[in-house]
């Protein structure tokens, strides 16, 4: 069954998250990272119900942190940082186990986390990170996870965003069963995303598009350097008025596109009976500003003051071309 938005929905299908060997590794070691430290260090019969690892951009990765949670910053090698997050339910279970000796089945009372929550959860965070260090030694494929230490909790989300500054992160999200019928908590573990140098991004070139672009026409104009005249001289222009140009001005012409970007410099003239522009050297990387020249007013010019003919460009004679040329 289709509707008016079916075509649009097909065009904006969400992208599948990026997955690789690091994600499979994180999912594989998730149970050992949490269940052993919970049982041996805190007497909690914890069970990992679900573990999903994916890569996300930095903003998306941080948005996966629950609103009520204690993030523990993991200080890694070469200034890198990871993150270990316990949600409010897991925090309550850790506090109950340490204060009452058991986990209660009572539902969680919604409240913001406190400094006491952060302090009482730090021991379990350190145990998990210690287990991670053991795994990174025992398993060769986990060596990239070595060198992380459990730092201080950071509940300020603005400061956390500044601390976690990598472009993307590998994120492991876990659902933790804290006892049959008792509580179900959530933990998040993230590290800077692994970069696979064996898979470089290759740009696909469409030969038909290249051919079409090469055959398209461009509108080019040839300009002489600008000259400066007094306003009173300009107001005195009439049919047949002659404006003298500075010596060598034809050799300082510029070839520009429609946007006014200079594509090259050269000489403006005539070749084989046609208007021509001879380039001098490679095109410059940026537009070169025009040169303003002061010229005397043309009133009462004798014939001897007119510009002399230009020298030959080669086989053909070059004639003055003071106006703009469009090719």
Label residues 195-214 b or e (16+ Cβ within 10 Å = b): eeeeeeeeeeeeeeeeeeee
Please say if the pLDDT value at position 322 is more than 60.
no
The answer to which of 6-15, 22-31, 150-159, 317-326 has the lowest mean pLDDT is 317-326
Confidence of residue 299 (pLDDT cuts 50, 70, 90): low
Please say if the pLDDT value at position 306 is more than 90.
no
The residue among 8 and 238 whose pLDDT is bigger is 238
Which residue shows structure tokens 């070595």? 146
Please say if the pLDDT value at position 166 is more than 80.
yes
Provide the pLDDT for residue 229: 83
Q: How far apart are CA 251 and CA 275, in angstroms?
A: 14
Q: How far apart are CA 206 and CA 298, in angstroms?
A: 57
Distance from chain centroid for Cα 218: 32
Please say if the pLDDT value at position 310 is more than 80.
no
Confidence of residue 42 (pLDDT cuts 50, 70, 90): confident
Q: How far apart are CA 133 and CA 146, in angstroms?
A: 6
- The answer to whether 51 touches 174, Cβ cutoff 8 Å, is yes
Please say if the pLDDT value at position 326 is more than 80.
no
Q: By percentage, how much of the chain surpasses pLDDT 70?
A: 77
Which residue shows structure tokens 């014939």? 303
Provide the pLDDT for residue 63: 93
pLDDT digits (tens, 9 = 90+) for 83-111: 999 999 999 999 999 998 899 888 888 88
Nearest to 23 by CA among 48, 56, 47, 46: 56
Provide the pLDDT for residue 270: 80
Provide the pLDDT for residue 207: 83
Q: How many CA atoms lie within 13 A of 246 on its CB side?
A: 16
Provide the pLDDT for residue 62: 93
The answer to which of 12-26, 53-67, 76-90 has the lowest mean pLDDT is 12-26
Q: In the structure encoding, which two tokens stand for residue 315, read together?
A: 């086989």
Provide the pLDDT for residue 296: 53
Provide the pLDDT for residue 145: 92
Output the pTM of the full model: 0.56
Q: In the structure encoding, which two tokens stand for residue 67, read together?
A: 């609103």
pLDDT digits (tens, 9 = 90+) for 212-255: 888 888 788 888 888 888 888 888 888 888 888 888 888 888 88
Q: How far apart are CA 285 and CA 117, in angstroms?
A: 60
Q: How far apart are CA 7 and CA 13, in angstroms?
A: 10
Q: How far apart are CA 133 and CA 173, in angstroms?
A: 19
Ranges of beta strands (E only) in 101-238 are 149-153, 168-177, 184-192, 221-223, 227-228
Q: Determine the average pLDDT of the residues in 182-203.
A: 78
Nearest to 48 by CA among 173, 171, 176: 176
Confidence of residue 128 (pLDDT cuts 50, 70, 90): very high
Q: What is the DSSP code string of 12-40? A: TPPPPPB--HHHHHHHHHHHHHHHHHHHH
Provide the pLDDT for residue 305: 46
Which residue shows structure tokens 């000259």? 227
Q: Determine the average pLDDT of the residues in 259-278.
A: 82
Please say if the pLDDT value at position 7 is more than 80.
no
Strand partners, 27: none
Beta strands at 227-228 and 293-294: parallel, antiparallel or unpaired? parallel
């Amino acid at each position: 069954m289709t509707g008016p938005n079916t075509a649009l929905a097909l065009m904006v299908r969400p992208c599948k998250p990026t997955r690789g060997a690091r994600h499979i590794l994180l999912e594989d070691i998730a149970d050992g990272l949490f269940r052993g430290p919970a049982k041996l260090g805190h007497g909690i019969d914890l069970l990992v119900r679900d573990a999903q690892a994916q890569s996300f951009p930095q903003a998306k990765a941080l948005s996966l942190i629950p609103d009520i949670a204690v993030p523990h910053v993991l200080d890694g090698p070469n200034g890198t940082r990871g993150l270990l997050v316990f949600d409010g339910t897991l925090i309550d279970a850790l506090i109950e186990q340490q204060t009452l000796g058991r986990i209660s089945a009572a539902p969680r009372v919604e409240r913001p986390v406190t400094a006491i929550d952060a302090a009482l959860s730090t021991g379990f965070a350190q145990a998990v990170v210690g287990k991670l260090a053991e795994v990174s030694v025992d398993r060769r494929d986990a060596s990239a996870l070595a060198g992380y230490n459990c730092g201080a909790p950071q509940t300020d989300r603005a400061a956390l965003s500044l601390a976690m500054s990598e472009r993307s992160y590998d994120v492991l999200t876990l659902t933790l069963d804290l006892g049959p019928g008792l509580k179900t908590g959530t933990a998040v573990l993230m590290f800077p995303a692994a970069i696979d140098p064996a898979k470089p991004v290759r740009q696909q070139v469409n030969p038909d598009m290249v051919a079409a672009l090469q055959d398209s026409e461009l509108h080019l104009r040839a300009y002489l350097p600008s000259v400066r005249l007094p306003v009173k001289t300009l107001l005195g222009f009439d049919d047949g008025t002659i404006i003298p140009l500075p010596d060598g001005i034809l050799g300082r012409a510029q070839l520009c596109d429609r946007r006014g970007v200079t594509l090259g410099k050269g000489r403006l003239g005539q070749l084989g009976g046609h208007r021509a522009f001879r380039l001098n050297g490679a095109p410059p990387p940026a537009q070169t500003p025009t040169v303003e020249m002061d010229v005397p007013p043309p009133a009462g010019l004798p014939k001897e003051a007119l510009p002399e003919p230009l020298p030959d460009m080669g086989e053909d004679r070059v004639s003055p071309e003071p106006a703009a040329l469009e090719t």
